[in-house]
Chains A and B, each alone.
Chain A
Amino acid sequence: MASNKSKESKLDKYKNIVVDWIEYRLPVFSFMKHQSEYRTPRNLSYLWSFGSIAGIALVIQIVTGIVLAMNYTPHVDHAFDSVERIMRDVPYGWLIRYTHAVGASMFFVAVYCHILRGLYYGSYKGPREILWWFGILIFFAMMATAFMGYVLPWGQMSFWGATVITNLFSAIPIVGETIVQWLWSGFSVDNPTLNKFFALHFLLPFVIVGLVILHLVALHTHGSNNPTGVDVKSEKDTVPLHPYYTVKDFVGFGVYFIIFFYFIFFLPNNLGHPDNYIPADPLVTPAHIVPEWYFLPFYAILRAVPDIGFGEVILVSSKLAGVIAMGASIAILFILPWLDRHPVRSGRYRPKFKIAYWIFVIDALMLGYLGAQSADGYTLGMENVTLGRICSILYFSHFLIILPLLSKYEKALPLPKSIHEAVKEKK
């Protein structure tokens, strides 16, 4: 009788009047209980660390960003000087700023690894479609935040990058010009634009935090995918997240921070463009306006699209078509769960998918390379424009042709019966 009662109270109550009082009003303790008992597949590789690494990267950006904001002046006459003051006169200001600047790049490294892991192991497939969508929304928000952050130091690349990117919206028919002026709060990129970008650059990271919370709620609903892609069937397939994956994730954090700190302390400016150490000058255009490295593949797609029409009749200008293609190159990920309908999740058991996947990765890297080159140059004996078009077509055909065909015709290798069996076999 007594043991029965304690069992019951273990399930519903915490036997402590204060704890129970709080729990009844705000279920923090059952939330903590969920965290401490949360189980994860036992076979996750180090690639599964990139999720929590990206989380840490976000926290680092917010903390360093708030300290920077305390010392930064969002005014066209003072922004550049205030950043240099941070670098020279604020104690360890250089450390905070370099951490923030390199941190943005490292955040993208973590997120790209995280996305590519999801693409390989089919983590976007049911029942994780909404989890996947929130991931894409986070990625969009990150890109907007990073772009506006790069404008704040008000160097040459800040100013001209902002000019080029905001001008893209002028391609939209009829309302384009109005939208651009609305973005600028004026008739060119100027002080109101800088103020606006500063405000939004401060706001968006907290929007990202909100999206991350939803991403995590969706994750904890069905749990992590795993390298076999086979669903968890029994408790034998899982281990408690803590301590098994917390300790494993810390190994991942260690490696991540070694690379991160190496860049901060020894190559702090290698990921940025030297032109951004020249104060913005609306009268002098830099020879080459290049976006940050993490935008390069999409920039290459933007530039690859020609005018669309018949002969002299242009239906869609290359600018508008480029903008659409660039947006579509990411937005297409939203419908990925319905483009790849193959019943097997993991690429490990899909030999043909594997080949297609690596071709896609190489193609994306190639696009990144081309994004940094001038359009009239040559690569591998081909004009950069031509190569950019081939790579862009390949990028979209992976999603629109290859994956749907593979889902229909590819015969997968035999799947392990369970995660537990798969781990046993490996030994």
Chain B
Amino acid sequence: MKNSLITITFILSFCISIITATIDNSYAAGSDTESPKQVPWSFEGVSGKFNIPSIQRGLQVYREVCASCHGLKRIAYRNLKDIGFSNDEIKQIASEATVLDGPNDDGEMFERPGLPSDRFVGPFLNEKAARAANGGAFPPDLSLMVKARVDGANYMYSLLTGYGVAPTDFQLAEGKYYNKYFPGGQISMPPPIDDEQVEYSDGMPATKEQITKDVVNFLHWAAEPEMEERKSIGAAVLVYMFIFTLLFYIAKRRMWAKMKDM
């Protein structure tokens, strides 16, 4: 009894230290910025799933709004199969991009339409070109953005809907926009999303909030496309491990019971 108490205390204290370490990461985000709004996402929790219709709309938002400045270089067009696009649709989407390929046999670079095996073609050739086109600011690649920020999905939702008028005592730099969710409070990106910014073909009302939700769902998929498979394997593995542990516990009890009167 006493032993198990000590064991439990040990395990608990480590769980606590792990949890605090996890929470601490969110403290590290900075004390001067507002903590993100909490949105209920379909992908959260042990049985979380991708919201495929929303992700598909999010792709549309990315292509029509974000893609003019932000790349998505870790996703290939073929990956869109995971979110319900057919091979023909993927070929169509890929071919709308222009890929710089080469050198060919004459030693020259050439342009060709994109193929499903290509990665998403970014808006700029390199970082210098991106900075030149954006007043010195560099719009980051979005492939991993949801995983690269504390509370990523909520943070991005809050950031995209968080533009406002700066308080009177706030020193806003030239060409910057006030956003209380961005570290430091000012961001180079103009408010990108507005009501009716895109037109959805599935009849979903294109409110600012809905558009933002869709694009965040899409970017979450882009950041961890393995999530659904991971969670479903995980559930099976945990069930297996519970049975494994229980059987060994029973075996242990029976084996040690025989020894008691030794």
Contact = CB atoms under 8 A, between A and B. Distances in A.
A116 B245 contact: no
B20 interface: yes
A87 B30 CA distance: 29
Contacts of B11: 113
Interface in A248-281: 248, 250-251, 253-255, 257-258, 261-262, 264-266, 268-271, 273-275, 277-278
Nearest to A290: B28
A373 B20 CA distance: 11
Nearest to A50: B10
Interface residues of B, number: 57
Given A261-B238, A278-B148, A251 B245 contact: yes
A173 interface: no
B259 A239 contact: yes
A358 to B, nearest CB: 9
B156 to A, nearest CB: 12
Interface stretch (A39-47, A312-320, A333-341, A407-415): A39-47
Contacts of A112: 14
A227 interface: yes
Contacts of B17: 293, 365, 368-369
Given A94-B230, A274-B152, A372-B27, A45 B20 contact: no
Contacts of B260: 427
A271 B18 CA distance: 7
Contacts of A250: 248, 251-252
A288 B147 contact: no
Interface string A30-41: 000000000000
A398 interface: no
A262 B234 CA distance: 7
Nearest to B232: A265
Contacts of A377: 31
A84 interface: yes
A257 to B, nearest CB: 5
B257 to A, nearest CB: 12
Contact of A265 (B16, B147, B233): B233
Nearest to A120: B6
A368 to B, nearest CB: 5
A213 B194 CA distance: 64
A199 interface: no
Given A42-B259, A47-B10, A265-B237, A258 B245 contact: yes
Contacts of A98: 230
Residue with the greatest number of chain A CB neighbours at <10 A, chosen from B18, B74, B244: B18
Residue with the greatest number of chain B CB neighbours at <10 A, chosen from A105, A251, A275: A251
B147 A47 contact: no
A146 B233 CA distance: 27
B255 A373 contact: no
Nearest to B20: A369
A14 interface: no
Nearest to A250: B248
B234 A46 contact: no
A332 B38 CA distance: 46
Nearest to B26: A274
Contacts of B237: 261, 265
Contact of B238 (A117, A243, A258, A269): A258
Contacts, number: 145
A296 B14 CA distance: 13
B24 interface: yes
B49 interface: no
Contact of A105 (B18, B233, B242): B18
B255 A243 contact: yes
B225 interface: yes
B24 A369 contact: yes
Contacts of A277: 144, 147-148, 223
A187 interface: no
B10 A116 contact: yes
Interface string A59-98: 0000000000000000000000000100110000011001
A288 B28 contact: yes
A368 B21 contact: yes
A296 B21 contact: yes
A109 interface: yes
Interface string B36-47: 000000000010
A328 interface: no
Interface string A109-135: 100110011001000000000000000
B8 to A, nearest CB: 10
Contacts of A253: 248
A247 interface: yes
Interface string A389-409: 000000000000000000000
A200 interface: no
Residue with the greatest number of chain A CB neighbours at <10 A, chosen from B16, B143, B147: B147
Interface in A274-298: 274-275, 277-278, 287-288, 290, 293, 296
Given A47-B7, A88-B74, A274-B150, A290 B25 contact: yes
B4 A46 contact: yes
B36 to A, nearest CB: 13
A254 B244 contact: yes
A287 B150 contact: no
A236 interface: yes
A247 B27 contact: no
Contacts of A247: 248, 251-252, 255
A425 B14 CA distance: 32
A361 interface: yes
A250 B250 CA distance: 11
13 contacts: A47-B10, A88-B79, A113-B10, A244-B255, A251-B248, A261-B234, A262-B234, A265-B237, A266-B234, A275-B148, A278-B148, A293-B22, A372-B24
The 4 A-B residue pairs with the shortest CB-CB distance in the complex, in nearest-first order: A265-B234, A254-B245, A293-B21, A372-B24
Given A274-B150, A373-B24, 7 more contacts: A84-B143, A94-B226, A94-B230, A243-B255, A266-B231, A296-B21, A368-B20
